[in-house]
Each structure stands twice: as structure tokens, then as C-alpha cells.
Structure 1
Amino acid sequence: MLLKRFMSSLMRVGLIVGVWLSVVDVSSAELKTEEIFPRIEAVSFASASLKKRKRAVVVLPEAWRSIKPADRRVLVILHGRGRHERSLVDDEAIRRQLLDSGLFVILPDGDDGWYINSPVRKQDVYETYLEEVLSKVAIKYDLPENGKQWAIAGWSMGGFGCVNFAERHPDRFAAVSPIIGLLDFPRNGLPEGQSYKVPVERFGTEEAEWAAFNPLTGAAQLKGMSVLIITADQAFDRTMNEHFRDRLTALELPHEYVELKGGHTFPVVRAAIPLVLAFTQRVLTRN
């Protein structure tokens, strides 16, 4: 019964075994688009999963219509807590880097949802919503179904979200790049200054159930993906990232680990974006 419900849920948003399906529920026909910068569009739609209108930003490569659909390379970037889908493109330096990357960049609006289906707030199904928005954007811009042409990244809450989502959709992405991500979370017991208060209104109060959401738990699902971990020497997430790095090492999963100077701050995100873009280009071009 649970499996049947799971498959039914995936069919509603158009995702089965890593393939985005062009079914009625994920049709892009009702999407509204607005150009906010040259080659950068905001798309909005009525989310069936969240029961409210949602937005995403899409950065398009130069002369993107001339790129064959099978050759289109896609990077999804999930924003941090307190940020939104425009946070990166509103930064002039980052906007130029995204425009010059040659990638289709999708920036969903994740609210404060941690990109999970909350066990507490049953209406907050942000994992299902993320499946939905990627399905709709993929249809709208005729993006490839092949997971080898997709990568996912994110910072802070979005760093947690991109790894968690990649683990739960292991055939969907070729590369994952968390930036100052909370990668050993939710949990208690980390060193002072190296922890983050668990939002129990989102994850619940039962610590025994938190492990299901902790990226350490599903790390083995990243087998076959290229992984770039970026943290900072003064960031409160550094220990979490070290734990995740050590977990991948124990599993004998190849990965790259970078420690920048700074804290858990947007300037570190700004410094990390060029590294993520270069890493993503390298992996997807190779594929």
C-alpha cells in the first residue's frame, strides 16, 4: 500500500526512476513567465503539491534555442534559509557568472521548507514540490531526461536540501555540490559553535526520527555521482561537512573537499559559486 501511494505521488509530479514525464499534471501550459534580466526568466505556477502559487528563476544560456535538447546541461541551485529564488541573480557578480556558464540554471523558491516533506506540517511537502517545479521547468524549456546532464547544488539550508534530494533521487543527477551545507543534520551533540538549532516545527521533536533526514544516513546513495563539498574555516557547519566527508571516505566514494576562508556567510557563497560552476561544467561536459 505504501509503495502504491509512493508511485502514485511520483506520477502526479511526473517523476519515475529519474525521468520527468510529460503528463497532464506537470504540463507547463499554465506557467507564466516574466523576463527579469536578459536571458533570465521568472516562471510562476499554481503548485498542486503546496496548494499555492510558486515561482522559480531560470537562467538561460546564450542562443539557448539553438542547443539541441539532448545537449542541454542543467544545474539546480537551492537557496539558503531566509533567502529566495532571486538571491543569486540579484547579485551582479553571480548573475554574470551564471549567464556565462553555458548551463540552464534553475533556482526554485523553497520558502523555509528545508526541501523535505515535513513529518509535522503535513501540508508542507517541499520534496514533492521540488519534484513538481523541476518537472514543469523541464517541460517548459525542453530539458533532457538523461540524469547525466543534470546537477544540483545549494547553500546552507539548500546545501542540506541538495544532498538530501540527490540521495532520494539517485538516478536524477550526475553531480551534487553543497556549499556551507548542514550535512550532519538534524541532530544534537555537536561541539559548541559547530551546531544549529533544529527547527522542530519542521522536523519534529523525536530525535530518533531525525536520522531519516540526515544526509549522513543516505550517503551511500551518492554512489556514481560526482561530489564537491565546500565549507569555510570559520563556519558553524564545518564539523558537519567534515563528518560528511569522512562518511564518503569510509564508503570509498570519490569526492572533492574545499575549505574556504570565512564563515557561514553569503560572501563565502559568492566565492564558492565559480567553483561549483566549473565543477558542474567539467562533469556534465564529460558525460
Structure 2
Amino acid sequence: MNARALTTAMLAGTLASGIVAVPEAQAAIAPPHLADAFGLTVIAQPEWAEGSDRTFTFTVATEEVPAFTVMPGQVSGEHVVSVTLPNGYDPAQSYPVHYTLHGGGDYPNAPWLRQAIEESTAHEPLITVAPNGGGRGWYTDWVYPGSLGLQNWETFHLEQLIPFIDANLATVDAKEGRAISGHSMGGYGAMSYAERRPDLFTYVGSFSGGLDLLNLEMRAAVVGSTQLAAYGYPTVAPDAIFGSPIWPLDWNWNQRSPAQHVESLRGMGIALYSGNGGDLAVDPVQAIVEHRARQTTAVASANLTAAGIEHDFLDYGDGSDWAAGCTGKHAQFACLQANFDHFIPLVMSRLQHP
């Protein structure tokens, strides 16, 4: 497989199905009822995830993303959102909210993501929200969405979903009560959202995110995601998301590259996580994808350092000292669980909470 083919898989965030069983539990109470608000129409009220009394999913429609390219099990225009409540959730309290963004080719209600969230927040008074980002949404308002209609993912999440959650759940409705993170494509999204709207978030985390859109391999990865059916059907034009990647028409790629626009993060908590792929001969695609993701994370870290902005760069290499079962690969559950376990205490040290 050539280098271009390898890098098109970058930031996919796809894990093997059924890698970890989710513990069974019995829901003791009904999940909350949600009301339409801020341009979101609830088309399916919350239902507990199978075996859980903390995580529920609901479905909304929005005119900002009225249709999207779908993967198996998805319905175009129906946006599933997963919410994990703290143990003993009390509507009379006000809880901080952690928004976490899934990777390319993945789902907001993926079993691995639910397990990572539930385990890392088991003893924390924290609400976690995982929204649909589409298989190739890239957490941005698309430049040329074509026949799909508007693909305003950023507007959907920041202008609609956040106030919707605050209106329907017991939240700390302020920057002091919000954090954001993401894996792979979602790591890009988390950093981009935090930079563009620092008024909304107190902490940001990137888990193996592709943070440097000036990197030609990153551009190949994004363009590749437009052409692969695994990221959703139908496929879309190569310039649909960020516009043309070729100079001098690449202005939007440059403006939307988190690694080069770190100044607005000053004063925010920042944690960047990445491995180096470990043994590149073992699971070479995921090894090389992680190796490249680390390069873009290192660029972001270097720019933060040059700007004098405090941050943590958790560079865990081959994973041997990070977590049992982590070998530094991309989209490896053991590594990601360790990332969540490390990130959540950092977040809670800064967020306002009961």
C-alpha cells in the first residue's frame, strides 16, 4: 500500500466492533424528556443505551445539516446524540458538561466510546455529550456541500446543540462549566471549536488529532475521506469540505488549521495526547496513521510553546508506560481509555461543579 493510501485512513477513529463488552445494568428511572429548542427538533426522545442507567441517546433534526452521507445504521438527516449522566444525577443541581467528538467513520453511540466515558466519569459530577459528527463531517461548515444541502456542522454543534443541552439538562450554562475533547477527526474538531469559540470552553483535549492542515499528508487524508464509501454514502467532491487544497485557492484550509491559530487558547486548559505508532511492522496502517497524527500534534505543541501558552503534551510513544494493552497505535482502545482517564481529572480541576 502506498503512502497516499495509508494516509487517507488518517483520523478515521474506527475501532474493531465488540472490542470490550459493556457491563450490564438496570435503568432505575426514565431518562429526561427533551423539548425542541434553538433550531433542533427532537424526533426521538431519549432511550437508555442497552444495559446502562447513565447513558441515553436521542435523535434530532436540524436545517443546518438537513441530510448527510450515511454509514450503516444511520438515516440521513437524523442526528443521534449520546449523553452520559453522572451517577446520582439530580436535576436540582448544576453540572459541567464535557463534549467529546468522535473520529471519522465512527459513531457518537459507539460501544467503545460509551465504555471509555462511563469508566472515566464513574465518580465525577460531570455530564458528557457525544454528538453526531458524520463519518466525514470534519466539524466545520462545508464550503461546497453540493446536492446534500447545508453541511454546517460547526453551526449545528456550537450554535444549536450547546444551548439545547443547557436548556434541557441541569448544566452550568457558562464557559466555566464546559470542556471539549475529541479523537482523531474529533481531535481536530475539538481544537478548532475551542480556538474559534474560546468563550464557550475552559478546557480542550485532542486525542491523536490531525491538527495541522498545512501538512500535505493531512490534506490527502481529508480529501481521501471524501472519496471512500467507508466514511459514508454517497461520496462527495474532493473540495466539498474545506474547498480546494491547492495554492492559491487553499485559503480555507489555512484559516481552519488549529496548529497555526493557537493564540485564542491562551488561558484555557489544553491537553494533547498521541502515541508514535509503536512497531510500524505491526498493524502498519494504524501505526503509520498514529505516527502522522503525532507529527501534527507536535507542530501544534511547538506553536503553543513558541507563543508561551501553557499546555500538556502527553506523548506516550509506544504506549508501554501509558496503559496495559496500549502499543501506541491509532484508534486503540487501551490507549484511548487511558487518555480519557487522564483527561477527566484535569478537566474537573478547572470546571465549576457540585
Identify which range, 119-128 or 151-160, moves more after superposition: 119-128
**CA distance change for structure 1 residues 240 and 284 in 2, over 3 Å: closer, same or farther?**
same
Q: Which residue of 1 aligns with 2:331?
A: 265
Aligned partner of 2:342: which letter? L
Deviation at 1:126, TM superposition (A): 0.6
The 1-side partners of 2:275 and 2:84 are apart by: 27
The 1-side partners of 2:275 and 2:128 are apart by: 24
Deviation at 1:94, TM superposition (A): 4.5
Is residue 28–residue 140 contact of structure 1 (8 Å, CA) maintained in 2? no
Residue 281 of structure 1: SS of its match in structure 2? helix
* 1:84-122 deviation line (CA, Å, top 9, x unaligned): 111256654553323433210001010120110011216
Larger proportion of strand = 1
The 2-side partners of 1:144 and 1:31 are apart by: 25
Is residue 27–residue 139 contact of structure 1 (8 Å, CA) maintained in 2? no
The 2-side partners of 1:160 and 1:27 are apart by: 24
Q: Which residue of 1 aligns with 2:221?
A: 197
The 1-side partners of 2:90 and 2:39 are apart by: 22
Number of residue pairs matched?
Answer: 260
Give the TM-score normalised by structure 1: 0.82
Residue 258 of structure 2: SS of its match in structure 1? coil
Q: Percent sequence identity over matched residues?
A: 22
Matches within 5 A, 1:1-287: 25-26=38-39, 32-36=45-49, 37-51=52-66, 52-65=77-90, 68-69=93-94, 72-87=95-110, 92=115, 94-111=117-134, 112-121=136-145, 123-131=150-158, 132-185=160-213, 187-188=215-216, 197-199=221-223, 200=238, 201-207=240-246, 208-209=250-251, 210-234=253-277, 235=290, 236-260=292-316, 261=319, 262-267=328-333, 268-285=335-352
Q: Which residue of 2 aligns with 1:14?
A: none
Aligned partner of 1:149: which letter? G
Is residue 75–residue 152 contact of structure 1 (8 Å, CA) maintained in 2? yes
The 2-side partners of 1:245 and 1:77 are apart by: 20
Is residue 127–residue 165 contact of structure 1 (8 Å, CA) maintained in 2? yes
Deviation at 1:159, TM superposition (A): 0.1
Residue 63 of structure 1: SS of its match in structure 2? coil
Aligned partner of 1:222: which letter? L
Give the TM-score normalised by structure 2: 0.67
Gaps of 5+ in 1: 1-21
The 2-side partners of 1:128 and 1:27 are apart by: 12
Gaps of 5+ in 2: 1-34, 67-76, 224-237, 278-289, 320-327
**CA distance change for structure 1 residues 90 and 139 in 2, over 3 Å: closer, same or farther?**
same
The 2-side partners of 1:125 and 1:195 are apart by: 20
The 1-side partners of 2:297 and 2:40 are apart by: 38
Is residue 187–residue 198 contact of structure 1 (8 Å, CA) maintained in 2? no
The 2-side partners of 1:228 and 1:91 are apart by: 21
The 2-side partners of 1:102 and 1:178 are apart by: 22
Q: Which residue of 2 aligns with 1:9?
A: none
Is residue 55–residue 114 contact of structure 2 (8 Å, CA) maintained in 1? no
Identify which range, 83-92 or 159-168, moves more after superposition: 83-92
The 2-side partners of 1:226 and 1:138 are apart by: 22
Q: Give RMSD over aligned pairs.
A: 2.5
Deviation at 1:139, TM superposition (A): 1.1
* 1:218-277 deviation line (CA, Å, top 9, x unaligned): 211111101001011222211111100000011111001101220222322222110111
Bigger Rg over Cα? 2
The 2-side partners of 1:248 and 1:214 are apart by: 14
